[in-house]
Amino acid sequence: MAVARPLKLKAEVFPRRHLPSEITGIARVWVDSGIYHLDTEFDYAIPESLDSVVEIGVRIIVPFGNRECEAIVLERRDVIGNQAGLKQIIKAVSAFPVATTESLRLIAEVSKRWAAHPYDVLRSAIPPRSAAVDKEAIEIVKEPNLPKKLARKYLQFPPGKDVYRLIAEYLAARSSAGSVLVLLPDSRSIERLREFVSHATVLDSQLDKADRYRNYLKTIRDRELVVLGTRSSVFAPLPDLAEIIIVDDGSESYYEQRSPGWNARDVAVLRSQLNMISLTMMGFSPSAEVARMIENGSIKYQPVKASLVVRSFQATSGELLPSGIFSPIRSALKKGPVLFISPRKGYSQSILCTQCRNVSICECGGRYLQRGAGRAIECSLCQKRHIDWRCAWCQSQKFFLMGRGSERFAQEIGRAFPGFTVTESSGEKILDNFLSDEGVVIATPGAIPKSSKGFSAVIILECERLFSQSDVRSQERARGILFSSAGSLAGGAELLLVINHSHPVIGALSAWKPSLITSRELRDREEVGFPPFTRSLSLEIESGEAPALLRGLKSAQSSGRLPSSTRVLGPSQTASGKSRLLLLVPIEEGDELISLIHEFQRKRSISKKTLASLRIDPYSLS
């Protein structure tokens, strides 16, 4: 017997029609179509009902194909001639502009520089709307103050000083009128600076939606503000912006994670050039890009006169603490807290059999590790646990921990200096402040707690591991870690390094001159043609399409559409199974390369192919 199907009610659906009305103007807009190649400007008619609302920077809804999309107004102009064929704006998202002519121009330049759809940049630049905040918004009208001075400089932090207090003092001493935008690497840095600049306006993704949108609107309406923010705040539409300050410009946090990966430092440099805004970099040690600008004179370097007592201790047999380092550490512990810097977090990265010296591998192919003292050995991939571990090769039950991290170091250091409390700061357990006047702190780079009087000694463990990492920024990153760690010292305290006695960083730290080592780094990069002397593009594509892409690039190069100086490295396999090509070209020819790749992406979009994953000037080339 057939089962009767349930009855369904049907309704006649009439298509939504927009009745014609009187046109009062034409709006030129970007449309959030979600389609890569539709990144041009479009014209829409402004109906009489929206005449008082539609202005530059207002978000609107427009008909686009068979759907309705958000758009933002770039320009408004009068009706000239017959505009009967133009579609009309449906409605305004809100009655307030969320961008200025200057901020829209910056977004346009960034989208061109990083081969992106303008709305891909705009989504990072403008926070999501909060309807409740739009209702409470009150426009504040003040005459903008034009910046009186224009300067581009790098200010180096001295050792043994609270850098956030120094930044606050700099802000208080500014003589130029207008607003100032301070970019910091993360929310933790913002909170530390707010202790000294409590009146500042914060732009940070960690704020709730309403507060973030409310603060953003404040930057477009108020004047003479101090704004503290993370990377996306570089687009804040401050009409009277006089100065941009970037703290620790080499931080990876300034790089946007989504393709194509613009970074706040380069956007700030571009904004400074477009709108004649002063630019100040602050930090212990500059990035390679800023070091290059200092070298060619586009940024003035303002060092501090300082010196540091630096002592090196060379490990002879892989020991954590060489024998000679114990005495200065004990002396420092009598004066106050001591800070140890560990290159890695965790307990151990792998297990080595003591008898046959083989690295222990699970059946699934993952390495075995130990996550803590007394915990079972487990696989890093499948998490299979072994309470009674045996070597698969020789059946021995004796093992050695390789790639030790901060947790293991805390145990070993605690045994080496009994009677002192050992505190850890790493990973998800970051300690903001260390309030005790004595004890030992084990921290990873980026998780160093603040001590009110400074640490009586800072010991950096396994320094050469920091310099020997595989990516091109290992030297720059290690230099930054050493200089910033030394900044945590109390006045007159010593910096102790577990490193080869002949390493050049020792002299640079002693004289407090990063230039003694940055110049060497720049020459090494220049010799092999790496950033900051080249523009770099990383393309990831399905492995089956990589050979055709490679042939196309070589054809473009031979026909003159791609600079002849372009180097194509790869393809290489990525962890996702795709193929990766790395393109390098001298800086002065970078625009030609970006233009060609932009057109390549547009053609893929038009033919409805999946876009290649694109990163322009990524943080790391590896």
Q: Which residues of 358-381 are buried (b: 16+ CB within 10 A; e: fewer)?
A: eebebeeeebbbbeeeeeebbbee
Q: Of the given ranges (378-387, 415-424, 522-531), which has the lowest mean pLDDT?
A: 378-387
85 pLDDT above the threshold of 80? no
What distances in angstroms separate CA 124 from CA 97, 117, 129, 234, one per listed residue?
16, 12, 13, 10
pLDDT digits (tens, 9 = 90+) for 318-347: 778 888 899 999 999 999 999 999 887 665
Domains, the chain, ordered by start: 23-136 (3.40.1440.60), 152-302 (3.40.50.300), 309-347+404-526 (3.40.50.300), 534-616 (3.30.70.2880)
Contacts 24+ apart (CB under 8 A), 521-528: 521/288, 521/291, 521/475, 521/476, 521/479, 522/288, 522/291, 522/292, 522/295, 524/475, 525/288, 525/472
pLDDT digits (tens, 9 = 90+) for 107-154: 999 999 999 999 999 999 999 998 888 887 666 555 555 555 688 999
Longest dimension (CA), the chain: 95
Q: What is the mean pLDDT of residues 19-48?
A: 87
Q: What is the mean pLDDT of residues 43-62?
A: 92
Token representation of residue 269: 């440099």
> What's the confidence (pLDDT) of residue 12?
38
> What's the confidence (pLDDT) of residue 330?
93
